Chain A
Amino acid sequence: MSALADRRRPLRRHLTSLLLAAVVYEGLARSGAFAPALLPSLASIAGALFDGLLDGTLPVHALSTLYRVLLGLALAIGIALPLGILMGRYRPIEGFFLPLASALMPIPSLAWVPLFLLWFGLGNATAIGIVCYAAVFPMLLNAWSGVRAVNPLWLRVANAMGAGERTLFWKVIVPGSFPFLLAGLRQAFLRAWIAVVGAEMLAASDWGLGWIIFDAKEFLKADVMLAALAVIGLIGFAFERLVFGALERLTVERWGMLRAGKG
């Protein structure tokens, strides 16, 4: 059996499994045992997806969700990255911020929604604040432990070769902790993605994928809901695979750190 056929086999099985699930679902939907408004057929979900794409509402919803996620994520990185690195490098800063972070971390980001609604009002500011809160902690903890995990031997070697504090930072500490920073970014995005959908439902902001799903419930449009769910899953999947996968290949994998880390 050639290598190509070997690689194709799981793909064929995956397709079989998805097809089977689709057939079972379609059979249930068409059997009439459940109301079609609650369990729409695949054709009507696809139709809802198509309508949304054609009249341009779905892209606008998706873009406003992405805008909130990316802005909140950027804000979180802006706070967490410098703070995490400082915590990893300087003992007193670590001693001050670590207890605070461990106390705030177990509070789910959605628990802040009502409070943020009162403070910032309905709309974008609340959603972005919630996203930022959700994303800050994974980033912070990973930056902190990444800096601490840099091999002390490398630091001493760089020092012995006469590296200044600035060179040490850019040439040793940043690349050395990069696998952790990437892992933090990944986790932060996942959390942010959950938070934005929840925040959009609760903070009713007229646009956004979370809001369509919530709004569709009022009108019993299960097909619109499922179409929006598919888009949410697709964007999350695309970020996970394409963006973070590419980032990893371009940096740590090219520097040979992933293999070194595993070996």
Chain B
Amino acid sequence: MQSVGSAMASAPASQRWSTRWHTLAATALPFVVVGALWEIVAHLAIFPARLFPPLETIASAFLRLTVSGVLPHHAADTVLRLVSGFALAAIVGVAIGIVMGRWRLAEDLALPLVSMGAPIPGIAYAPLFLLWFGLGNVSSILLVGFVSAFPIIFNTWTGVKAVKEVWVRAALAMGADDRRLFHKVILPGALPHILTGLRLGLAQAWRILIGVEMLAAVPWGLGWMIFGAREFLNTDVMLAGVVVIGAIGLALEKGVFKRLEDFTVVRWGMMT
């Protein structure tokens, strides 16, 4: 990998340009092939066009919904719900995880409960939450928070336990008080694990949220949009919605956490 990098750096600009163009073409090729196959099947009319629309219909549905502002509104509400649920889970989950990692009694009390709740698929709680908190935003945000809290708690707990005892003792010997110990040793030491937990939690929150939006009858949201489109056989709207869902998912995965990691643990030399 490194030799490729240095070779590229020393190559003349035109050659570098062609290499980059080549990678781009190689990445685009499979999509072009699949797109062409889709078009052929759609235009051969093997399936009814309402159920299997050609790409241009999907693109025009996407354009129509974007211009009219419907799609952005749905997407914004979904992202808002995700962010609020996830923020709740991050705050509560990290706090519980740290308390569990530092105090034996809290660990003994909470660990069995957490390990019992974790393997139950989050979506299974959805009807219960709907019953308890009613249809709509409150239960969907709470459920998303509840589901994504589990990996955050687990990883924070592991991270705090994994902080080297020598570091803690060294800091104490140098006269660090509890607050300094926490800020300067335990939190940075556990951060790689905490970030892993947050990443897993966000991925889980995203997978659950789309399902919850279909069940919870929220007024806006991508999950609701594609579920509602089924009633009118609007397959093109559904597929446009799925594309947006995929794009948001990809952005969450690649954009948010990679940056955060580069900014903290990678910069501190704890992870490469």
Contact = CB atoms under 8 A, between A and B. Distances in A.
The finding on whether chains A and B are genuine partners in a shared complex, rather than unrelated, reads yes
Contact of A115 (B119, B222, B238): B238
Given A21-B113, A108-B211, A233-B119, A115 B127 contact: no
Interface string A186-221: 000000011001100110000001100110110010
B113 A18 contact: yes
Contacts of A18: 112-113, 116
Interface in B88-111: 108-111
Interface in B111-139: 111-113, 116-117, 119-128, 130-132
Interface size class of B (residues with CB under 8 A): 35 or more
B30 interface: yes
B51 A118 contact: yes
Contacts of A112: 242
B2 to A, nearest CB: 18
A118 B250 CA distance: 26
B80 interface: no
Contacts of A110: 123, 207, 210-211, 214, 223
Given A194-B121, A229-B120, A114 B227 contact: yes
Contacts of B132: 38
B113 A201 contact: no
* Secondary structure of the B contact surface, majority rule: helix
B246 interface: yes
A202 B215 contact: yes
Given A107-B249, A111-B245, A201 B126 contact: yes
A193 B54 CA distance: 33
B262 interface: no
Nearest to B246: A107
18 contacts: A18-B113, A18-B116, A96-B29, A103-B250, A106-B206, A107-B242, A107-B246, A107-B249, A111-B222, A111-B223, A113-B211, A115-B226, A118-B233, A194-B121, A198-B211, A213-B127, A220-B131, A229-B120
Interface of B: 26-27, 29-31, 33-34, 51, 108-113, 116-117, 119-128, 130-132, 206-211, 214-215, 222-223, 226-227, 229-230, 233, 235, 238-239, 241-242, 245-246, 248-250, 252-253
Given A111-B222, A114-B229, A117-B230, 18 more contacts: A14-B111, A14-B112, A20-B109, A108-B206, A108-B208, A109-B207, A110-B123, A111-B242, A113-B211, A115-B239, A194-B123, A201-B211, A210-B123, A214-B215, A216-B127, A226-B128, A228-B124, A236-B120
